[in-house]
Amino acid sequence: MTSTPPLIPDQRHQEILRLLRSAGVLSIRHIVEVLGVSHMTVRRDIATLEESGQVVSVQGGVRLSEWTGTEPPRERGSRAVLELPRKRAIAALAAELVKDDMIVFLDAGTTCEAVVPLLATRRGLTVVTNDFFVVTTLFDYPGIEVIHTGGAVDSSSGSSSGPLAAATVASISLDVFFMSTGTWDLTHGVTTPVTEKLLLKRAAMDAASSCVLLADSTKFGTFERFKVTPLDAIDVVITDDALSPDVRAAVTDLGVDLRLAKV
């Protein structure tokens, strides 16, 4: 009895598109089971198809770019495709700060998730996270120890937060906290719409030797109700080079190490 040879990338891409034309949207887990490949392989295939504009990542899965279902909160339609190079460029600069034997916290969000594949060569690394997508991606990296915070689950973002998650983080000595945000500006600093996220982010800041904000320029100039931290309490801000010169100067004047990713 002969086994079926594995599909090459182009064959997998065509099969994913065929399945999507029938279903409209598919979970990553379902694609993994159908194709018989790893979670990370499917994510790479989806990223390739996303760059070509044929599909769009959604919470826990993927849909055809022309499909008109409800857009999920985590990634929204064509904007997610447009921001993908920006997120990857920021992630690349962030990964340069991670050394062997570190304990790092990756906050929930697609930019922090983009850091994960860049950590594959690190030795003795421990990743703490509240992001379920980060955890499942790390299944493909057995050399990295993973700690999930637990806590109250937010299905819209695929993450957890709240006092239980904050208590877990408070019990760990972190080398670096990679913080994500959807809103940041000079006046309000980093903000969040819910107190549960506020508790977790502040706990991670207290537990970490350094705090690095990963925030693309499209999020600058916006704010939410609850203030996490002023910008001058952050050690490093990594954003993209579309940030205006005036804002760059103002952030630097706060004493923050500002690093710009080219996109």
213-236 pLDDT, tens per residue?
A: 999 888 888 888 899 999 999 999
Quick check: 24 pLDDT over 90?
no
Between CA 171 and CA 162 the distance in angstroms is 15
Helices (H) and strands (E) in the chain, counts: 9, 15
The confidence score (pLDDT) of residue 71 equals 33
Per-residue exposure over 140-177, b if at least 16 CB sit within 10 Å of its own CB, e if not? ebeebebebbebeebeebbbbbbeebbebbeebebbbb
The confidence score (pLDDT) of residue 66 equals 57
Helices (H), 108-148: 110-113, 132-137
The domain made up of 9-72 has a fold known as: Arc Repressor Mutant, subunit A (1.10.10)
When pLDDT is cut at 50, 70 and 90, the band that residue 53 belongs to is: confident
Between CA 185 and CA 200 the distance in angstroms is 20
Between CA 201 and CA 105 the distance in angstroms is 10
Q: What is the mean pLDDT of the chain?
A: 88
Instruction: Read off the pTM.
Output: 0.71
When pLDDT is cut at 50, 70 and 90, the band that residue 182 belongs to is: confident
Quick check: 4 pLDDT over 80?
no
Between CA 58 and CA 21 the distance in angstroms is 16
User: In CATH, what number does 80-261 get?
Assistant: 3.40.50.1360
The confidence score (pLDDT) of residue 67 equals 45
Between CA 35 and CA 39 the distance in angstroms is 10
In Å, what is the CA distance from 88 to each residue of 111, 118, 121, 242? Answer: 7, 10, 17, 14
Quick check: 74 pLDDT over 70?
no
- Show the CA angle centred on residue 119, arms to residues 118 and 123, nearest 5°: 150
What does the pLDDT average to over 21-46?
Answer: 87
Quick check: 80 pLDDT over 80?
no
When pLDDT is cut at 50, 70 and 90, the band that residue 111 belongs to is: very high
Sheet holding 55-58, edge to edge: 25-27, 61-64, 55-58
Query: Domain spans of the chain?
Result: 9-72, 80-261
